[in-house]
Amino acid sequence: MPTTTPSQRTAARPGHLLGYARVSTTAQDPALQHDALTAAGCYRVWSDTASGALAERPALDDVLARLGPGDVLVVWRLDRLDRSLRHLLTLIDDLDGRGVGFRSLSESIDTTTATGRLVLHLFGALGEFERDLLRERTSAGLQAAAARGRHGGRPPVMTPAKLAAARSLLAAGRSTSEAAAAIGVSRATLYRSLKTD
């Protein structure tokens, strides 16, 4: 839940620094983050106890709703806001579109400055570069496997040998369920294979 003191229960005015802290478990203490955010001049600090991968973070939703043009969202470290670079950059881009700045204390990123915007764009370019490399490696791996006669995806459950064994069992009077169990496939798989064979 958001952490406030009685003197902070007024509405935020444009130009304020609003802090956001997050810890993953109740065993972790957000005090270090709170102290750093307060020392940086944050007028109020919101805090969640949730994994960075979780979509539901009520304190983050609250602070994002309160940010207005001229305000700056401040975090102690980038991964406190989001673990995915792509989602992080999307969120910061959305804030920028609303006239809201972003600052990360540990990485010294401040989008209200030209240098901070440059650093953030470099982060974005590196993230896109990493995604392109991953796509290229995946494509090259699939092409190499195909050249060796292997194709992506799971190998088929039903092999010609299994189908032949199932036909022998069925011819010997075994039921479809018994034949499927004997060769290690589901009854539905055996039915499909018999129909398409």
What CA–CA distance (Å, rounded) separates 174 from 176? 7
The H-or-E segment that residue 101 falls in is strand 101-104
10, 99: one domain: yes
- The backbone torsions φ and ψ at residue 55, rounded to the nearest 5 degrees and listed phi first, read -75, -30
Catalytic option among 24, 47, 168, 186:
24
Q: Give me the pLDDT at residue 121, please.
A: 78
Q: Identify the DSSP state of 149.
A: T
**Strand, coil or helix: what is 179?**
helix
What confidence tens digit (pLDDT) does each residue in 82-106 have? 877 778 888 888 999 999 999 999 9
**Strand, coil or helix: what is 29?**
coil
Specify the higher pLDDT residue, 21 or 156: 21
In a domain, 88, yes or no: yes
What confidence tens digit (pLDDT) does each residue in 160-192 have? 888 888 888 888 888 888 888 888 888 888 888
Choosing from 124, 145, 178, the residue where a domain stops is 124
What confidence tens digit (pLDDT) does each residue in 55-87 have? 678 999 999 999 999 999 999 998 888 877 778
176, 102: one domain: no
What CA–CA distance (Å, rounded) separates 61 from 50? 13
26, 120: one domain: yes
Q: Which of 156, 153, 158, 155 is nearest to 191 (CA)?
A: 158
Say if residue 108's pLDDT is above 70: yes
State the CB neighbour count (10 A cutoff) for residue 70.
13
CA 111 to chain centre: 23
Q: Give me the pLDDT at residue 39, please.
A: 95
In a domain, 187, yes or no: yes
Q: Is residue 24 annotated as part of the catalytic site, yes or no?
A: yes
Our count of domains for the chain comes to 2
Say if residue 14's pLDDT is above 90: no
CB 189 within 8 A of CB 158: yes
118, 169: one domain: no
CB 20 within 8 A of CB 46: yes
